[in-house]
Amino acid sequence: MSDLALPAPLARTRAADRPAMGEALAAWLLTLPAILAFVAMLLLPTAAVVVIAFTDYELGARSLRFVGLSNFAELLDDRGFATALRNTVFFVAVTTPASLFGGLGLALLIEGGTRGRTLFRAVFFLPVVSLMVAMATAFQYMFHPTIGPVNAALRLFGLAGPNWLGSSDSVLWTLAVIGVWEQVGFNMVLFLAGLTAIPRDLYAAAEVDGVRSAWSRFTTVTWPLLGPTTLFVLTITMIRALRVFDIVATLTQGGPNKASEVLLYTIYTEAFSFLRMGYAAAVTVVFLAVVVVLMLIQTRLIDRRVHYG
């Protein structure tokens, strides 16, 4: 039936709907490659990991058997998994606040400076773009118990430095320091973006109201308006800390005596050293559950429509 045979209001409605339908179809066609990539590279692998977690599949095997919750029951009795989980929680608990406040402090110093802002931004952001595999040699030299500059500096004050990467008592603290070095520049950039978005006239208004000291301006104006940025940085830092793997794999391989083994390194060794893909997938499911919980906290605490200006 043509539009001429329809009543005038209905014909105009159909004519107006055609461009909208064309735009919607074009939008779906443009986003289809991204949707297919998201499904193929994220959703399907995640679903496969969840399925494998309930089997006894071993890497290279031609068959597998459904074992239900046996892999998860083994997790509860596995001291190695408990150690890796405890080490991961310790790493997150140490690196998260240090990286957050370190990044905030650097951002405040750079934003308050008048010269060399670009230089300092590049210098402090350099660890973010540095490959940890390439930096491993430098850190092994720095924390070497005999020839390392860290222990050499301690000996100048009459102190005997420990075997930073070879002692169970100090290895996690040393890795945490390296983790802070790796993350603080990224947090600095996020805080710089938040500081730049704060209107300058608010500081002038605060000064008129009697807020003149730097600390008072920070607590009255800067810190409250950095709330959304701080919550975002906190969540991102915790997730990045949970994903720690490269510094453990390159510097300690989980040693000594599993003192530095973390969840991702446990997944790696179980899957590719012991070929126990089913058990490794169960550990991965637990890891993903922790990450999802953190993401839910982020979506509940941070309004996704926060705008600065």
Q: What's the Cα-to-Cα distance from 87 to each of 80, 92, 107, 207, 217, rounded to whole Å?
A: 10, 9, 30, 47, 39
- The amino acid that residue 285 corresponds to is V
Give the burial class of 246: count Cβ atoms within 10 A of its Cβ; 0-12 exposed, 13-18 middle, 19 or more buried.
middle
- The amino acid that residue 232 corresponds to is F
| Burial readout 101-110 (b: 16 or more C-beta within 10 A, e: otherwise) | ebbbebbbeb
Residue holding tokens 């790493």?
91
More confident residue, 129 or 46: 46
Q: Taking residues 17-40, what's their average pLDDT?
A: 84
Q: Taking residues 82-90, what's their average pLDDT?
A: 94
Closest of 171, 148, 159, 180 to residue 248, by C-alpha: 171
Which of 5-14, 167-176, 228-237 shows the lowest mean pLDDT across its residues?
Answer: 5-14
More confident residue, 202 or 86: 86
**Is-above-0.95 flag for pTM?**
no
Q: What's the Cα-to-Cα distance from 278 to each of 40, 172, 255, rounded to whole Å?
A: 21, 28, 24
Residue holding tokens 């209001």?
9
CB 128 within 8 A of CB 191: no
How much is the mean pLDDT over the chain? Answer: 86
Closest of 146, 139, 212, 210 to residue 176, by C-alpha: 139
Q: What is the pLDDT of residues 278-307, one digit of tens each?
A: 999 999 999 998 888 877 877 776 655 554
* ∠ Cα 247 248 253 (to 5°): 140
Cα(6)–Cα(10) distance, integer angstroms: 6
Q: What is the pLDDT of residues 201-225, one digit of tens each?
A: 888 888 888 887 888 888 888 888 8
Band (184; pLDDT cuts 50, 70, 90): very high
Q: Taking residues 46-54, what's their average pLDDT?
A: 93
Give percent of the chain above pLDDT 90.
Answer: 50
- The amino acid that residue 34 corresponds to is A
Peptide bond into 256 cis (omega under 30): yes
Q: Taking residues 105-114, what's their average pLDDT?
A: 85
So what's the pLDDT on residue 297?
75
Q: What is the pLDDT of residues 135-158, one digit of tens each?
A: 888 899 999 999 999 999 999 998
CB 195 within 8 A of CB 226: yes
| Furthest CA-CA distance within the chain | 99
Closest of 126, 116, 250 to residue 181, by C-alpha: 126
So what's the pLDDT on residue 228?
83
So what's the pLDDT on residue 39?
93
Residue 191 has pLDDT above 80, yes or no: yes
Q: What are phi and psi of 46, to 5 degrees?
A: -65, -45
Q: Taking residues 27-47, what's their average pLDDT?
A: 91
What six digits make up the tokens of 56?
């006894």
DSSP assigned state of 222: I
Please tell me the chain's helix, strand, coil percentages from 3-state DSSP, rounded to the nearest 5.
75, 0, 25
Cα(148)–Cα(141) distance, integer angstroms: 5
Bridge partners of 55? 66
Residue 4 has pLDDT above 60, yes or no: no
Closest of 263, 250, 117, 80 to residue 182, by C-alpha: 250
Give the burial class of 121: count Cβ atoms within 10 A of its Cβ; 0-12 exposed, 13-18 middle, 19 or more buried.
middle
Residue 6 has pLDDT above 60, yes or no: no
Band (1; pLDDT cuts 50, 70, 90): very low
So what's the pLDDT on residue 12?
53
Highest mean pLDDT: which range of 10-14, 62-66, 173-177:
173-177
